[in-house]
Chains A and B, each alone.
Chain A
Amino acid sequence: DSGVTQTPKHLITATGQRVTLRCSPRSGDLSVYWYQQSLDQGLQFLIQYYNGEERAKGNILERFSAQQFPDLHSELNLSSLELGDSALYFCASSEPGPLHFGNGTRLTVT
């Protein structure tokens, strides 16, 4: 168990809808990262927060947004969902140091 908790485990929703994915980092970890994993693209970095502040942005669509709260948990908001957004979404945390991943949220857009 990595100590990183992601909820929900599965999410099925329709195109055009909006969803929120939640992540609780390991105790003491200040950095939170969001990654998207699909079969053809592999693990793609979306966004990083460090102690509440946005630190780095990757291939995150404008329809997606994230934030990190004072208690260090993070949320990833996905809106105007399209079929192509179906993927595994992983959260990872670090102290800094190496990243430790949660077990992901599987999003299916129908």
Chain B
Amino acid sequence: QKEVEQDPGPLSVPEGAIVSLNCTYSNSAFQYFMWYRQYSRKGPELLMYTYSSGNKEDGRFTAQVDKSSKYISLFIRDSQPSDSATYLCAMSAKGNTPLVFGKGTRLSVIA
């Protein structure tokens, strides 16, 4: 079993839809959870950063962490064509330690 599992998609939605992206993990020591967005030919860009369980909202983006289920989610409201990218979840057990990444979900938002 991989440490972090993420459905690779591709996921295609119409503009304005609510998008739900998810990851599961097996290491119960993970406490730091991140979501990155990666456009083609670019490096991953940090979207959301959360510590432990709970929700965090930033504009159209909401990150949720459920440590009891080892499950994290990213919701995108009012999706836009510019949101079309690959979304990567990442996590670590301690600060200042390497992140373990999911393989990424490719999202297309169709105008």
Our count of residue pairs bridging A and B at CB distance below 8 angstroms stands at 53
A48 in the interface, Cβ–Cβ < 8 Å? yes
Count residues on chain B whose CB falls below 8 Å from chain A CBs.
21
A94 in the interface, Cβ–Cβ < 8 Å? yes
Give chain B's interface residues, CB within 8 Å of chain A.
Answer: 34, 36, 41-46, 49, 88, 90, 95-104
Per-residue 0/1 for A24-65: is the Cβ within 8 Å of any B Cβ (1 yes, 0 no)? Answer: 000000010101000000110100101000011010000000
Residues of chain A contacted by B42 (CB below 8 angstroms): 103-104
Kindly state the separation between the CA atoms of A99 and B102 in the bound complex, as whole angstroms.
Answer: 15
Contact A56 to B45, CB < 8 A, known contacts A42-B103, A42-B104: no
Residues of chain B contacted by A98 (CB below 8 angstroms): 34, 46, 49
